[in-house]
Structure 1
């Protein structure tokens, strides 16, 4: 039964029967799969789940802060006055031990790599394990709750996207729609976490979905708005960033803002490389992964004894430093302590992200840069505006998403002139990072794992379009020791275009073009001619696991119209044959299909 007929049948039923039909999963599946309204409804449901997930995780981490560090119910950990130095040292170590036990248990029971929303949308068509997402969220709560220098935003987006993926799989959504719904989960999470629906929506477009389309606009924005309202209902103003009073912006302010954006880009690159450096040291050491968080906790605890502002994501510390005049040595010291603590926390195995930490460190850089204001003629930027510019510029360099960070500045200040200034700075910062480094924090970590992902653009279908799926298995073969006469008898002209040669052990030994054999292109005495004299592409072969893009590159390199497919490069047993024309045709068909999915034509 078609979608329209289902709706008509539903509308003409009696109220009692109509209510029963509301529980019919098949109707909801049809609604979500075949109409934008259905996808928007699913986005709203995901927004509710995201708002609840963010509120619950924040509440759990806050309760741990109160229980472990003894702070008040309205205090933020990074801005609280904690007199007990032993607690500051012991808490991150205890969290590291607990996390290590969890990691050890998971290593025994779960062998697969945890997938985050960016990787899921780039490679797996939006498919995320909800169980894995819950595990990531729990690890994030433990890490943040015991004071590790990480934010909860990674857990927010992971859990919300996992719920969205589970819902989409249950509704049997198409690949493109499932990717959009995962984006709805991430949008709701970030929107709720910062009380900023536009920020959440463009976080999804730029970082999770990888593109903005009219089809994806409604469900993503709906999810962000709903999640914001849900979080605001349960948590009030807990997630609001208050920057206080700030001055006005004049044209002369753009030059220092651009310079600050450039400086933040350089600092972000150092920070990302610092995390990778710590991880590399940990990998090269003989320390088991389960023990690394505890050792990292020792370092974080020692740094917290110097300043508790390095603990957790830094919400309280951000407001503390925005509201007060801070001397230059203190700003420099806090920035160094926070950057080292964040790098050690993530590099040693604590679970979390650098979203809010980068905002905090960017604000410190901005206020530090504010002391250079007298050197810029006619510039009127106040320290608070410098802080907002620094927040956005460092965050965009680490996280990515220029429009995401621009809208964050707009939503926390409500000022359009400042937003335009931030836009100029974040574009500069993003350009410098892309030109010199090429990665954001998430894609840099993919690169370290050997993945070539640069964004959430859907490249998974390319990997799924493998040589094994494209090749023909009815391969014509001939022993490499055969004479030309034997070959001609076995393959009369017109019977085949290509024949694969194999040796006595069945290994690939080259490919022969039948017309060449009958053309007599090899100048040798007839009695001494063997078919191997006509062999081509002796070492140029495809393997089943190659994708269409890799196969096309090899065709282009060898200037061949077809190549043999072998099982591996050691045994070299022939399993098939693939032509360039068929590969390019199938690749073009799939590419067009993805384009039509994104544009809503399918």
Structure 2
């Protein structure tokens, strides 16, 4: 028995050594990270196919439509289904949320937040929770897309894979971005769209180090989705007409209108959410009534239901009167606001594309009334789709590439790029958020993008402080201090009162130069009410140093004012600069993470 136990121990030790060697190889090899991204892309494509299929099956079963029909383009759905399915679906989602809350009481962390605050650490449990919620919400007809679930699933798998191989913080963030790139690329059958979605929203920057993993994942995911014949959200259009220079002023105006309208939509979601929360406190009733309202809007037009893929296709290929286009746009916007505000889980990615396309088509129709025959409605629909999507989602280049991959026309892409730039500038200057960061803001999170700011929170006064500062009683005389602390022994000393609590700081050279009439050190004390807590991050500490004009500050444990250490401004600035340089080198791919 002992021989068997020794053999097993040697075998386990050998396996552990091999695993450690494999992790070390992956950590130090850029090619290995790309290989992980390819694996991530394959899994993301499979997950996107599975989630899209699950939602489609729910549409078929619950609404009685054929497998070839998209819900938002269905012409014949019984009124009782339109009213009951979203309402009862809201109750079902409430029950699912309660079950999931017992399993996972903490709110899920999404890929943007994970990359911004947690160095790319995501939970597969969160991916399962968000995936189930989005599939059910979309499946019962709520006006939300599956993009949040796709991104969560791809990012969650990528994070777990990266943590298994103990990737550095920078590489882990890139791999999470690659996972979301694969998921979005597979969903839209658009690898460039997925890649730039990851760069702009999940990684927060364009870097050489991130290029190869992100592109590899996006392309692999799209190939997997095509092999499975997913076509989840693939945008289809007719061939566009010629694009002349006279369309550029119209495109810029469409971009301006889309930017302003996107701000109204995002603020409308927050306002509706606040009103519903105050008027209908029970969450189950809020979800049920929200679903009932969506069903009522669907009785006007089924464009209100689900993400709107079928309706977007019809918007591109059919002629529609301007009044009807305006009605459809308002119905979709109202359904999306109510769905998100009442508690259904999902994103506004695809809904914003549909609203923007309808808006561009409406604009083309109005121009045609004034200056017949007017511009090509399809071209301005594509411009509106991309500009409004960029304004809401916050990914201008991703939306430009979506138009390019949809049409294959560089001329249309140039027109779209101009409109997207205007829409993005309007939202950036007048609002300052995209929909994801706006939701973070409403929750009290100070996240404006996926730029890695989590390391700032990790760089705290508690970690940077000197833990053995020279401390003396505040009632000590300068003469006694000069004998106890000679010049050069320290730059600052911490004063303690009779109870051992913090009472201020003194400069050692200043005490040595104190006039004879100085009775106690308390007369020379500074920063009596200025101190740091162990959890104060580097940015907050720098602001406090600047406000107090101090060279050093004590770190105390809180209300008890027990001294834990001393932090100097010079040391803080040096460590902060080193960390910034390290992050820049990571992004540029020219140094270790």
User: What's the TM-score bracket when you normalise by the shorter of the two chains?
Assistant: over 0.9
Unaligned runs of 5+ in 2: 1-13
2:141 to 137, 147, 151: 147
User: Matches of 1:403 and 1:31 in 2, distance apart?
Assistant: 34
CA distance in 2, matches of 1:495, 1:245: 79
**1:533 has 2:527 as partner:** no
Aligned equivalent of 1:52: 46
Is the 2:209–2:586 contact (alpha carbons within 8 Å) kept by the matching residues of 1?
A: no
Scaled by the length of structure 1, what TM-score is found? Answer: 0.92
1:423 equivalent to 2:417? Answer yes
Match of 1:393? 387
Q: Is 1:190 matched with 2:180? A: no
Offset, 1:337: 1.4
Matches of 2:368 and 2:127, distance apart in 1: 49
Cα distance, 1:495–1:29 mapped onto 2, change above 3 Å: closer
Deviation at 1:380, TM superposition (A): 6.1
Cα drift, residue 217 of structure 1: 1.3
Distance 2:550 2:472 in 1: 20
Gap change, CA 1:232 and 1:72, over 3 Å in 2: same
Match for 1:578 among 558, 567, 573?
A: 567
State the Cα distance separating 1:289 from its structure 2 match.
3.6
Aligned 8 A contact 1:150 1:313 in 2: yes
8 A Cα contact 2:188 2:232, kept in partner: no
Structure-2 change in CA distance of 1:579 and 1:290 (3 Å):
farther
Residue of 72, 76, 80 corresponding to 2:74: 80
Tell me, in whole angstroms, the C-alpha distance in 2 between the residues paired with 1:393 and 1:379.
24
Extract unaligned runs of 5+ from structure 1: 1-19
The structure-2 alpha-carbon separation of the partners of 1:104 and 1:222, relative to structure 1 and needing over 3 Å to count, comes to same
- Tell me if 1:156 matches 2:150: yes
Q: After alignment, is 507-516 or 161-170 more displaced?
A: 507-516
Q: 2:517 and 2:279 mapped to 1: Cα distance?
A: 65
* Deviation per residue, 1:456-502 (Å, 9 max, x gap): 11111111111110011212223334444444454344443222222
CA RMSD of aligned residues (A): 2.1
In structure 1, which of residues 376, 381, 396 is the aligned counterpart of residue 375 of structure 2?
381
Q: Which residue number corresponds to residue 396 of structure 2?
A: 402
Counterpart of 1:251 in 2: which secondary structure?
A: coil
Q: Which residue of 1 aligns with 2:222?
A: 228
Mapping 1:201-600, distance limit 5 Å: 201-235=195-229, 237-284=231-278, 287-374=281-368, 381-520=375-514, 525=517, 529-568=519-558, 570-600=559-589
For residues 172 and 223 of structure 1, the distance between their equivalents in structure 2, rounded to whole angstroms, comes to 19
The answer (yes or no) to whether the contact 1:359–1:395 under 8 Å persists in 2 is yes
Q: 2-side partners of 1:373 and 1:328: how far apart?
A: 11
Structure 2: how far apart are the matches of 1:363 and 1:335? 9
- Cα 1:501–1:436 shift into 2, 3 Å: same
Q: Is the 8 A contact 1:69 1:82 kept in 2?
A: no
Aligned residue number for residue 7 of structure 2: none
Q: How far is the alpha carbon of 1:597 from its aligned partner?
A: 2.2
Write the distance in 1 (CA, Å) between the matches of 2:214 and 2:379: 30
- Higher mean C-alpha deviation, range 98-107 or range 234-243: 234-243
Match of 1:181 in 2: 175
The DSSP-based 3-state class of the residue aligned with 1:183 is: helix
Normalised TM-score (structure 2): 0.93
Alpha-carbon offset, residue 243 of structure 1: 1.3
